[in-house]
């Protein structure tokens, strides 16, 4: 399909179809983080909450280690046989991982097999979500009109955050309306994983009816040796290093203020589980709404100003914001501090997908976006929770705040040296 000839309604249908599949995948991924405070004792029989959360966070981090493999596998599939097929396969794998978590017996029932099966499920989900990012970022960027790429590609993070919102929304419904805390800890935590497996059926239908992108179709005659191979990718070292550098600080900040924040509010701020879920839900909803606004802004003023804004404000404000948050006693004080942090992070999240897609030619675009991103997220984003909890355990929680600051500053150096990809986009050559 010729992208320049797509009508607005067809373009919206393609963006919605790609995005909703992305939403389901990220819901499955985040359901683990959202419900860890309820199921950690089922797999790790330790009386200390922090130790249970560390073990659960450790498996969360191990799941991230599969993401580079997923970025390579699904990126190669997308560049060789199509974006559409790669996205369909990734959502199938994610649904299987969710179903496995839902059906795994507790430690009391099967002993050490319980955490091992949990680990296997997270490895499968890590493989899936590692491939999902690069492929969906590529698809959304290639389907967008030239002057609306920032806006359309921002919906990747709208749906990424939306997945977490659905997980938290289901948690709120279960907490407030349907189940007691004892029921949630006993068996209720399995419900969101069953829902995730069922939602995958919807995602599969939507993705089966997507159009392939013109950028991929135009490169069908390119030699297979050049499509989606690591050897071809290594011919673009500057683009590879740019992806690593611009991702490093952003992914750490993102996972700190989203997946880890719910535990931080319970474990450090000492809000109740229900209060922390409510604060997380409201702040993430507003955060999701901000993504298209920032994405559209990048279409007007360029990508680089937004990245520089995140880098400068993130470097200056992270320690003060987290220090103030750790000592607040007000639920609304916590909300406003988290919201301030998420507004800063939006300078990265809203446009990072399109920036990466604009760096690589179409024959290696999905692999180029997905693999270096997944490697960086595995090392820095996936370990954020564990490192934060470890610093807390040794009595130096504020060291974690400085660790985030240092990583954002490193990314700021990269932002200051890179060209604005809006004006130097490889997508214009497709």
- For residue range 297-346, what is the model confidence (pLDDT) as tens digits? 999 999 999 999 999 999 999 999 999 999 988 899 999 999 999 999 99
| Confidence (pLDDT) at 411 | 95
| Confidence (pLDDT) at 198 | 85
- The two tokens of residue 139 are 């698809």
| Confidence (pLDDT) at 3 | 52
Distance CA 298, CA 292 (A): 10
- For residue range 269-301, what is the model confidence (pLDDT) as tens digits? 888 888 888 898 899 999 999 999 999 999 999
The secondary structure of 93-117 as a DSSP string is: HHHHHHHHHHHPPPHHHHTTHHHHH
- List alpha helices for 328-383, DSSP H: 331-349, 352-357, 365-376
Decide: 210 and 138 in contact? Cβ < 8 Å.
no
| Confidence (pLDDT) at 319 | 95
| Confidence (pLDDT) at 47 | 57
Nearest Cα neighbor of 228 from 131, 68, 367 is 367
Q: What is the DSSP letter of 429?
A: G
Q: How many residues comprise the chain? A: 430
**Can you list the pairs that 337-340 forms with residues at least 24 positions away whose Cβ atoms lie under 8 Å?**
338/257, 338/261, 338/279, 338/280, 338/283, 339/283, 339/286, 339/287
| Confidence (pLDDT) at 189 | 87
Helix (H) / strand (E) containing 228: none
Q: Indicate the average pLDDT of the chain.
A: 85
| Confidence (pLDDT) at 92 | 83
Decide: 150 and 422 in contact? Cβ < 8 Å.
yes
Which three-class secondary structure state does DSSP give residue 184? helix
Per-residue pLDDT of the chain (430 residues; tens, 9 = 90+): 455 556 677 777 777 777 777 788 778 777 877 787 787 777 776 655 666 666 666 766 676 778 889 989 999 998 888 888 888 888 888 888 888 888 888 878 887 788 888 888 888 888 888 888 888 888 888 887 788 888 988 888 898 888 888 887 888 888 888 888 888 888 888 999 999 888 887 877 777 777 777 777 776 666 566 677 888 888 889 999 999 999 999 999 998 998 788 888 888 888 888 888 889 889 999 999 999 999 999 999 999 999 999 999 999 999 999 999 999 888 999 999 999 999 999 999 999 989 998 999 888 898 999 899 988 988 888 788 889 988 988 888 899 999 999 999 999 999 999 888 888 777 877 6
**Phi and psi for 330 in degrees, rounded to 5?**
-105, 135
Quick one: residue 105, left, alpha or beta (phi over 0 = left, psi -120 to 50 = alpha)?
Answer: beta
Decide: 405 and 318 in contact? Cβ < 8 Å.
yes
Nearest Cα neighbor of 355 from 254, 430, 247 is 247
Decide: 171 and 35 in contact? Cβ < 8 Å.
yes
What pTM value is reported for the model? 0.82
- In Å, what is the CA distance from 185 to each residue of 30, 86, 260, 353? 18, 36, 20, 37
Distance CA 166, CA 85 (A): 26
């Amino acid at each position: 399909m010729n992208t320049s000839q797509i009508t607005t309604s067809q373009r919206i249908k393609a963006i919605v179809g790609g995005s909703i599949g992305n939403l389901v995948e990220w819901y499955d991924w985040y359901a683990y983080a959202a419900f860890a405070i309820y199921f950690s004792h089922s797999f790790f029989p330790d009386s200390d909450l922090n130790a249970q959360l560390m073990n659960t966070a450790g498996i969360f981090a191990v799941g991230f280690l599969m993401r580079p493999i997923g970025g390579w596998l699904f990126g190669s599939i997308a560049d060789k046989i199509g974006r559409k097929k790669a996205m369909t396969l990734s959502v199938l794998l994610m649904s299987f991982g969710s179903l496995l978590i839902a059906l795994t017996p507790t430690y009391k029932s099967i002993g050490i097999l319980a955490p091992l099966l949990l680990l296997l499920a997270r490895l499968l989900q890590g493989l899936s979500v590692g491939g999902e990012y690069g492929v969906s970022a590529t698809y959304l960027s290639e389907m967008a009109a030239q002057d609306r790429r920032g806006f359309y590609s921002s919906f990747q993070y709208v749906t990424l955050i939306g997945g977490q919102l659905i997980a938290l929304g289901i948690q709120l419904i279960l907490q407030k309306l349907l189940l007691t805390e004892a029921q949630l800890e006993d068996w209720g935590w399995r419900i969101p994983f069953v829902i995730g497996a069922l939602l995958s059926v919807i995602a599969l239908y939507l993705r089966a009816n997507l159009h392939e992108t013109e950028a991929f179709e135009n490169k069908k005659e390119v030699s297979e040796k050049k499509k989606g191979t690591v050897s071809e990718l290594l011919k673009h070292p500057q683009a590879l290093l740019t992806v690593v550098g611009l991702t490093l600080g952003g992914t750490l900040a993102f996972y700190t203020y989203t997946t880890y924040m719910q535990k931080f509010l319970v474990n450090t701020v000492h809000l109740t589980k229900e209060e922390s879920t409510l604060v997380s839900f409201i702040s993430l909803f507003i955060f999701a709404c901000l993504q298209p606004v920032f994405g559209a802004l990048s279409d007007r003023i360029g990508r680089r100003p937004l990245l520089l804004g995140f880098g400068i404000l993130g470097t200056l404000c992270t320690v003060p914001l987290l220090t103030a948050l750790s000592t607040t006693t007000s639920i609304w004080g916590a909300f406003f501090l988290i919201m301030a942090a998420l507004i800063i992070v939006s300078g990265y999240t809203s446009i990072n997908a399109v920036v990466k897609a604009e760096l690589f030619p179409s024959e290696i675009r999905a692999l180029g976006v997905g693999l270096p991103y997944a490697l960086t997220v595995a090392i820095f984003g996936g370990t954020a929770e564990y490192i934060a909890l470890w610093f807390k355990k040794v009595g130096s929680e504020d060291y974690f705040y400085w660790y985030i600051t240092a990583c954002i500053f490193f990314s700021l150096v990269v932002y200051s040296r890179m060209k604005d990809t809006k004006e130097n986009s490889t997508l214009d050559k497709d």
